[in-house]
Chains A and B, each alone.
Chain A
Amino acid sequence: MYLGRVVGTVVASVKYEGLAGQKLLLVQPLDHARAPAGPLEVAVDTVRAGPGDLVFLVGSREAALALDPSFVPVDASIVGIVDSV
């Protein structure tokens, strides 16, 4: 899991069925000092996060396990809004 800052929203009208209805956000991964760590990612939101929020994400196969149903083509999910680090 890792920290990130939501920097925007992503809209895709043509997508695989499993992605229908999922909110997609553009996220900048951050390190513990809140410095950018790697390129921007598109992540599915499970906690009603919005632009500007500091969040934490889970990647890889476990990203899909945050969703219901879980067999969807997702490799990053926002699973929490961070109050403090």
Chain B
Amino acid sequence: MILCKVLGPVVSTEKHPAFAGLKLLVVQPVDERGAASGKSFLAVDRAIHAGPGDTVLVLREGTGIRQLFGVPLTGKLPIRSCIVGVVDQVEA
């Protein structure tokens, strides 16, 4: 998992059915001090209810996400990054 800051929501009407009802957010990878490090990307938020400005934990591994979503590991879910926690504090 990596630390990211949530930048804002992405709105999409025409999308793959796997994304139906899922919140999609733009996230920016950050270092331990909260400074941007690397390219922004998109992650889904199914149960965490993260909002803009939150520091979050992002899982970037499709098999782990299929397990999280209760899809059989051989099942089809074209999702690769998912917010799995809101970070309260980082010490480094």
Chain A residues proximal to chain B, CB less than 8 Å: 1-3, 31-32, 37-38, 46-48, 56, 58-63, 65-66, 68, 70, 77, 79-85
Known A-B contacts A2-B41, A32-B40; the reply to A63 vs B78 at CB < 8 A is: yes
Number of interface residues of B (CB under 8 A): 28
Residues of the A chain whose Cβ atoms lie less than 8 Å from the Cβ of B7: 32
Chain B residues proximal to chain A, CB less than 8 Å: 7-16, 18-19, 24, 26, 28, 39-44, 62, 76-81
How long is the Cα–Cα vector from A65 to B44 in the complex, in angstroms? 16
Q: How far is the CB of A2 from chain B (nearest CB, A)?
A: 5
Q: Are A81 and B16 touching (Cβ within 8 A)?
A: no
How long is the Cα–Cα vector from A56 to B80 in the complex, in angstroms? 12
How long is the Cα–Cα vector from A82 to B19 in the complex, in angstroms? 12
